[in-house]
Amino acid sequence: MAKNKNFHPDVKIKKSSSGLGLYCMRDFSRGEKVIEYVGKIISNKEADRKAGRYLFDLGNRYTLDGSTRQNIARYINHSCRSNCDAYRDGYTIYIEAKRKLKSGEEITFNYGREYFDEYINPRGCKCDYCRKRGGS
């Protein structure tokens, strides 16, 4: 039987305050890889034409298009006070815990200034940190 590529026992897609989010199904240690952000590697020119929200810049020439349904890491929401970081290893993007994560906790990372300014700020940031502060 073929393995379900969408199944990751350590994380689960659930309803969040921002819509859908990705949640830990076990504890993660600080510095531990939580999940890989997967997708097709495309040229930056193609990424500019596509103008999608699941694009990860890989440098001068390439972008990772994470819009595929097999990329459940795309459900990770932005937070201005995130608990994870995204880091690049060649053409691979990993999401890594910035601190200890507890089972049941929503996984978040900061999408960066460019994405924030273009997509989040015009509607107001809805991350837990900003909601508790009363705005972006």
Examine residue 98 and state whether it is found in any structural domain, yes or no.
yes
Examine residue 92 and state whether it is found in any structural domain, yes or no.
yes
Examine residue 50 and state whether it is found in any structural domain, yes or no.
yes
Examine residue 26 and state whether it is found in any structural domain, yes or no.
yes
Neighbouring-strand partners of residue 28: 101
Examine residue 6 and state whether it is found in any structural domain, yes or no.
no
Report pLDDT digits (tens) over 74-129. 999 999 999 999 999 999 999 999 999 999 999 999 988 888 888 888 888 888 88
Examine residue 28 and state whether it is found in any structural domain, yes or no.
yes
Number of domains in the chain: 1
CB-based burial label for 117 (10 Å; 0-12, 13-18, 19+): exposed
Examine residue 1 and state whether it is found in any structural domain, yes or no.
no
Give the integer Cα–Cα distance in Å for 19 and 8: 20
- CB-CB contact of 90 with 120 (8 Å): no
* CATH number for position 126: 2.170.270.10
Report pLDDT digits (tens) over 10-55. 999 999 887 899 999 999 999 999 999 999 999 999 998 987 789 9
Range of the domain at 102: 11-131
Contacting residues for 75 by C-beta, under 8 A, at least 6 apart: 13, 20, 21, 22
Examine residue 18 and state whether it is found in any structural domain, yes or no.
yes
